[in-house]
A and B are shown apart, each in its own frame.
Chain A
Amino acid sequence: MSNEINVKFHIRRYNPKKDKSPYFQVFDIPVSKGMVILDALHYIRENYDSSLAFRYSCRMGVCGSCGMLINGSPTLACNTQILDVSDKEITIGPLPNFQILKDLVPDLMPLFEKHRSISPFIIRDEKELDDPEGEYYQTPEQLEEYLQFTYCIKCGCCMAACPTLATDKNYLGPQPLSQAHRYNKDTRDSGRKKRNEITGSRDGAFKCHYAGECSRVCPKGVDPAKAVQILKRQLVFEFLHLIKKQEPCQKLHGPGKGEKLDIPEAPEKTV
């Protein structure tokens, strides 16, 4: 192909069966405009070494599988144009602050466990969940309070970039904390108190000191640092009893306190 240039890829390799510690292996890859880092990894696997391990799935920045340390910055391999990074040498390693399973594959389980610990779902009272009677009322302004934080794809880039996590493995980290804030701010939710016990604990939000790295590297513009700082304000104000008690929002219609608005009724139940 014309307009191809050769770029040197330094790939951090680690085989748990053979190696004591990771080492670098260099590959020369012909690169043309439009190729992303993930293409180069596929090229290596197809032409040089079929044992190279890396994670990917959607190939379009949606699934969050392909987070890696590319020239010292945690980002998505499928979303990063090679020529935007360098036209000479590129270093690729697995996401730091996680254990390496093989080559470029980190063990993201701690991230998922921490995420699970903050109850990342809408919590309502059981009766409502078992017997739903209507939709919940939420204004566009209320939606905007948390919408930005819903775009998280759990790629782990923020956790890899966080300097606090670099030295403290117990710290919850930017991803779980920003997601806790996302659900706390959802007017349909009533689980804030339960989450506060975790986010306000010694390994929670107050270990963040705004290095801002999570927001800088987030490939989806979620801005976790912003969420964590607002979460801290909420925790402090709540501790000082400076915010009013927030009740979860009402239903649009149906019995009880539901507000009857000029919106069509939900269709008859079919099951």
Chain B
Amino acid sequence: MEKVNRYDNRLGILGWAFKGRWGFERYLYILHRLTGLGILLYFLMHIFVTSFRAMNIYLWAPDNFFHHPLFRFGEYLVFLAFAFHAFNGLRLIFVELGFAVGKPIEPVYPYKTSLTKQRPLFIVMMVFAAILAILGSYEFVISLGKMVGGGQ
């Protein structure tokens, strides 16, 4: 039989966010992955940087490399990522164990899906994440303010 060409139409990584009109939960799915990777990267860097202590090098000391406001700000972003990732992760644990998605129902148009069912849980979790972010911001903003203002 004659071999017919085919075009592979898989969306790929770009298709996670682009190449379509997607819903809200898909962007949460992407953000969860990105924040997870960000935290992992920070964790690896953290181990690497603190390991210099064995050679008596304190890169995070006040007069050293990582004390720069830019790195402090980066740390702040990691903290925000943590606040989101932690509470969104809790939502996902509930949802992925089938606890917040509701029971099977007769599909009657306009269809109601588990997406709307689990949204209140998302809102509650994001309120917790916001509280944690606000509490944590205090420390970061004060220390950053001092650094930029010239004090310690």
**Partner-B contacts on A (CB < 8 A):** 14, 16-17, 19, 21-22, 69, 71-74, 94-101, 106-107, 144-149, 151, 161, 163, 165-167, 169, 208-213, 215-216, 218, 220-223, 225-227, 229-234, 236
Contacts and interface: CB of A to CB of B under 8 A. Distances in A.
A94 B8 CA distance: 11
Contacts of B104: 144-149, 223, 226-227, 230
B contact patch SS: loop
Contacts of A95: 9
Given A209-B32, A215-B113, A225-B113, A232 B97 contact: yes
Nearest to B111: A221
B11 interface: yes
B99 interface: yes
A210 B101 CA distance: 11
B30 to A, nearest CB: 8
Contacts of A233: 97-99
Contacts of B111: 218, 221, 223
Contact of A210 (B4, B10, B29, B99): B29
B11 A212 contact: no
A216 B118 CA distance: 13
A236 B21 contact: no
Given A212-B23, A223-B113, A97 B10 contact: yes
B26 interface: yes
Contacts of A211: 23, 25-26, 28-29
Interface string B96-113: 111101111111110111
Interface of B: 4-13, 15-16, 19-23, 25-26, 28-30, 32, 92, 95-99, 101-109, 111-115
A166 B26 CA distance: 12
Contacts, number: 156
Contacts of B21: 71-73
Contacts of B26: 163, 211-213
Nearest to B113: A215
Contact of B6 (A97, A107, A221, A232): A107
A22 B7 contact: yes
Contacts of B114: 212, 215, 223, 225-226, 229
B62 to A, nearest CB: 42
Contacts of A212: 23, 25-26, 29, 113-115
B16 A216 contact: no
Contacts of B99: 233
Contacts of B9: 22, 94-100, 106
B115 to A, nearest CB: 5
A112 to B, nearest CB: 16
A244 B98 CA distance: 18
